[in-house]
Structure 1
């Protein structure tokens, strides 16, 4: 039977540790001579210098090959998404519900649209976007001719939304049963929604449920079209003053004054039947006016 290992006292253990840290007999510091510590320190210093240089070179090469004005890969964005304002989301989709008898209720909807339209203020747009764009034609820009090495952007003013601009009716129809909604198509860099010979994309709204509750649908600008001069979009860096073209839709609610509505941007290059992305090319929302 092997002999039991002798137990060492705390003092002995401390003495052994001290000898490990500095052994005066062999002249070692933590098991190595000062000369070996110099060699190993130089090795690791050189190793991390080389690794840092390689990492820096890789990052520099990546940044040098990237285009700051457009992402290299846009394969996930086949068609633009579509959004609606007021953007009041429920559990599954947008639910625009308000009470015409409750000022706080319809003022909430009015304020959401009013805040959204602030960048479209007529005065601000005339100051930011001074270029005279040709209507009905794509605004192709191959060079950076605008100030500060940017590209021009066409102005879209709040007044172009007509009866839904908030100028004629500051409540946007939410104090009664004729509410306005704003439809916006999301941006995709260099996206052209139609062929050059086709008409511009336009918004078309259909009532999915409650057809008898909607007496009339009106579009602003006329026919709900998005002029081709707002395309293509070249990116926020290239066009810092760009604003999306909008379409306002006014509904005249009658009877039960509620409906489920789908608004989609109609164009051959914009799909809307993607099951995995319910907002691609279209937006579905509920509209309900209580009293």
Structure 2
């Protein structure tokens, strides 16, 4: 019968561990002599230096081949999405609900619009006034002629939104039954919304539900046009001062003062029937002014 292994005390275990850490008989530290520790340390230092160098070289080569002003691959949609402000979302859709008799309710909408329009004030757009933009023509720029190796951007100010600019009416019509909404088309680098023979893209809104509750619609700028001079967009680094052209729509609500509305950017180059992306080329929202 095998002899049972003798149970060692705590003091003996500590003594064994100390002997492992430093063995005076063999002159080893944790099982290796100082010379071997030097060799293995040098090996791992050299190993990680080589690995770090290879990683840095790979990153350098990758960055060297990339254009800092334009992505090599774009996995976004070829047709831009469309958004609406105030961007108050319900469970699935944009629901612009307010009550004309409740100041806190309609002030929430005006605050959203004021915050959204901050980059469009005259002060923020001053850097765009050093050159001329030709209305109705694409602003093609093959060189970086703007300061700091950038490209120019055409200015778009809140005053261009007319009665929906918030300058004459700071409530944007939300204290009554004439609310303004702002339509914005998302950016796609080098995207041209039309060809040379087509008119500029424009916003067109249709009433999907509650047709009798909308007496009239007004577009600002006139005709809801997004001028061609704001295209193409060259990217945030190339055009740091660029802002999207906007279209404001003012609705005159009557009756129950509620409607389901679709606003579409109309152009042959912009699709709007993508089942998988309901915001491509158009936006649908509910407008309810309460009673």
TM-score bucket of the superposed structures, by smaller chain: over 0.9
Partner secondary structure for residue 55 of structure 2:
helix
Compared with structure 1, are the counterparts of its residues 10 and 127 closer, same or farther at alpha carbon in structure 2 (3 Å cutoff)? closer
CA deviation string 1:74-127 (max 9, x = no partner): 132211111111111111111111111112211221221122222222354245
Structure 2 partner of 1:117: 117
Q: Normalization by structure 1: what TM-score?
A: 0.96
How far the C-alpha of 1:31 sits from its partner, in A, is 1.1
| 2-structure distance, mates of 1:134, 1:209 | 39
- The size of the alignment, in residue pairs, is 291
1:67 positional shift: 1.3
Equivalence map 1:66-85=2 (5 Å): 66-85=66-85
| 8 Å contact kept, 1:129–1:152 | no
Q: 1:202–1:266: 8 Å Cα contact kept in structure 2?
A: yes
- What is the aligned partner in structure 2 of residue 147 from structure 1? 147
In structure 2, distance between residues paired with 1:109 and 1:184: 17
Unaligned runs of 5+ in 1: none
Contact (CA 8 Å) 1:129, 1:241: kept in 2 or not? no
Asked if 1:180 is matched to 2:153, the reply is no
Q: Which runs of 5+ in 2 are unaligned?
A: none
Q: How do residues 123-272 of structure 1 correspond to structure 2 at under 5 angstroms?
A: 123-272=123-272
Measure the CA separation in 1 of the matches of 2:280 and 2:149. Answer: 33
1:162 deviates by 1.4
Q: Considering only aligned residues, what root-mean-square deviation do their CA atoms show, in Å?
A: 1.3
Q: Describe the SS at the equivalent of 1:242.
A: coil
Q: Secondary structure at the match of 2:98?
A: strand
The 2-side partners of 1:35 and 1:129 are apart by 72
Is the Cα contact below 8 Å between 1:129 and 1:153 reproduced in 2? no
Alpha-carbon separation, structure 2, partners of 1:267 and 1:2? 92
Relative to 1, partners in 2 of residues 1:5 and 1:126: Cα closer, same or farther, differing over 3 Å? Answer: closer
